[in-house]
Amino acid sequence: MSDNGKEQNNHENKLKFATKLLHFGSEIDSTTGASSVPIYQASTFHHEDVFNPPVHDYSRSGNPTRQALEDYIALLEGGVRGFAYSSGMAAISSTFMMLSAGDHMIVTEDVYGGTYRLLTSILSRLGIESTFVDMTDLDQVKAALKPNTKAVYMETPSNPTLKITDIAAVTSWAQEHDLLTMLDNTFMTPYYQRPIELGVDIVLHSATKFLGGHSDVLAGLAVARTHSIGTQLKQLQNGLGTVLGVQDSWLLIRGMKTLQARMNHSEQSAAVLAAWLKGRPDIDQVYYPGLLDHPGREVHEKQSTGYGAVVSFDVGSGERAKQVLNKVSIPLVAVSLGAVESILSYPAMMSHAAMPAEVRLERGITDGLLRFSVGLEDIDDLIADLDQALQG
Ligand SMILES: *Cc1c(COP(=O)(O)O)cnc(C)c1O
């Protein structure tokens, strides 16, 4: 990077988050002044002089549009290098390739379903072993340590019951044992939570969710805390070929520019929704880290500046959950979350359908549990709609 680039970066690092979202370094095309990053729809790059190759030579190894996105997420997370992948699972699976056969990982028990399947049905076959623990309890994390443990994988708040892991506590313990730490930051985004500042080595995202924000792009991102981790991730991304295409890179950049405005609106509405649900005698449980009686609230407030836009609640039975899903008219009834439109999911039959029923129930993922990802609609309309759906 040129000295100029460095100066510019230092300048950007001092800016507040909302400003960084719009002024991240490549928001203006340096050759034409165009007001957005150009889509470099090219797979390869001409070598004017074979002894002096261009910066990018082949789009799997590097493309200026994808590079702009990768620099953007690195800036937002406060890391040294970012990577963009074809999906959240591509980001996670490529990152897991940092491990080798014979290695062991400690993983949060309520990890995203796709990550659970990757660990238990694919990585296990390659000789990479994992132990799932309740990460709200640091003693359980410590007890899972083995001589071959190499990494700790966190997700906080977790899905769908929004359990909280103490990021700094787990990370400082992991550092004492030379373990690599990874954290899936999909639910919070760098606007509310920046794990690298708490010592986490690799931050991962399903950018399909809040970062993209419009239910129209599938993408994953990773950010490295150090140059040496960045070099390893680069080798894996290029070697595995799990890169994000240029059109989707551009769409993701466009979505991310409004992240703070979207999160603020959705979070405000989520707090109103959680309080409204909490006040209803016909709702068994409400899970939202912003509620006063949320068991992880204190830890969450220490490491995040917001509570997010996802509220889960238990309507009492599978029958009632199905009634609500059939009767709501505003939210999308679907898997996924983090979009401009509200999305109502049914974990027992969608994201967690593959989980054995007894494990599912033990984790609070009952037949009556619904997950509401609050979008940008007027909250009065969302509540009125949910109210009529609950009435039966
Ligand atoms: C959706 C999701 C993923 C997987 O991301 P894809 O983009 O669907 O591959 C990983 N982690 C969390 C927390 C998610 O919500």
Mutational test site, ligand 1, from 154, 209, 345, max ligand atoms within 8 Å of CB: 209
pLDDT band of residue 297 (cuts 50, 70, 90) is: very high
Question: Please, which residues have CB within 8 angstroms of residue 130's CB and are 6 or more apart in sequence?
Answer: 104, 105, 106, 107, 119, 120, 123, 124, 153
pLDDT band of residue 182 (cuts 50, 70, 90) is: very high
Q: What is the pLDDT at residue 320?
A: 98
Active-site residue identified among 20, 66, 209, 320: 209
Quick one: tokens of 298? 């204190």
Active-site residue identified among 60, 117, 280, 327: 60
Residue nearest atom 14 of ligand 1, based on CA coordinates: 206
Ligand 1 contact via 386 beta carbon (within 6 Å): no
Query: Where do the structural domains in the chain lie, given as residue ranges?
Result: 3-256, 259-390
Which tens digits make up the pLDDT trace of 329-354? 999 999 999 999 999 999 999 988 87
Question: Please, which residues have CB within 8 angstroms of residue 97's CB and are 6 or more apart in sequence?
Answer: 236, 240
- The residue-averaged pLDDT of 43-68 equals 95
Mean pLDDT of the chain: 95
**What is the rounded CA–CA span in Å between residue 43 and residue 61?**
10
Q: What is the pLDDT at residue 292?
A: 96
Which tens digits make up the pLDDT trace of 228-281? 999 999 999 999 999 999 999 999 999 999 999 999 999 999 999 999 999 999
Which tens digits make up the pLDDT trace of 98-125? 999 999 999 999 899 899 999 999 999 9
- For residue 154, how far is the Cα from the chain centroid? 11
Ligand 1 contact via 339 beta carbon (within 6 Å): no
Nearest of 10, 19, 15 to residue 259 by alpha carbon: 19
Is pLDDT of 3 > 80?
Answer: no
Closest atom, ligand 1, to C-alpha of 218:
7
278: burial class by Cβ within 10 Å (0-12, 13-18, 19+)? middle
Side chain identity, residue 108: T
Phi and psi of 166, rounded to 5°?
A: -80, 100
Q: Which residue has the higher pLDDT, 353 or 150?
A: 150
Crossing angle of helices 227-240/88-96, nearest 10°?
110
Residue nearest atom 4 of ligand 1, based on CA coordinates: 88
Known catalytic residue at 254: no
Residue nearest atom 8 of ligand 1, based on CA coordinates: 88
Is pLDDT of 10 > 60?
Answer: no
Q: What is the pLDDT at residue 7?
A: 45
User: Tell me, which fold does domain 259-390 have in CATH?
Assistant: Aspartate Aminotransferase, domain 1 (3.90.1150)
SS3 string of 339-373? CCCCEEECCCCCCCCCCCHHHHHHCCCCCCEEEEE
Ligand 1 contact via 184 beta carbon (within 6 Å): yes
Which tens digits make up the pLDDT trace of 303-319? 999 999 999 999 999 99
Known catalytic residue at 112: yes
Side chain identity, residue 144: A
The hierarchical CATH code for the domain 3-256 is 3.40.640.10
Known catalytic residue at 302: no
Is pLDDT of 4 > 70?
Answer: no
Contact, 129 vs 149, CB < 8 A?
no
Ligand 1 centroid vs 53 CA: distance in angstroms? 37
Q: What is the pLDDT at residue 392?
A: 74
Phi and psi of 183, rounded to 5°?
A: -145, 130
DSSP helix/strand/coil, 62: coil
Ligand 1 contact via 186 beta carbon (within 6 Å): yes
Number of H helices, E strands in the chain: 15, 12
Is pLDDT of 6 > 70?
Answer: no
DSSP helix/strand/coil, 192: helix
**What is the rounded CA–CA span in Å between residue 102 and residue 305?**
38
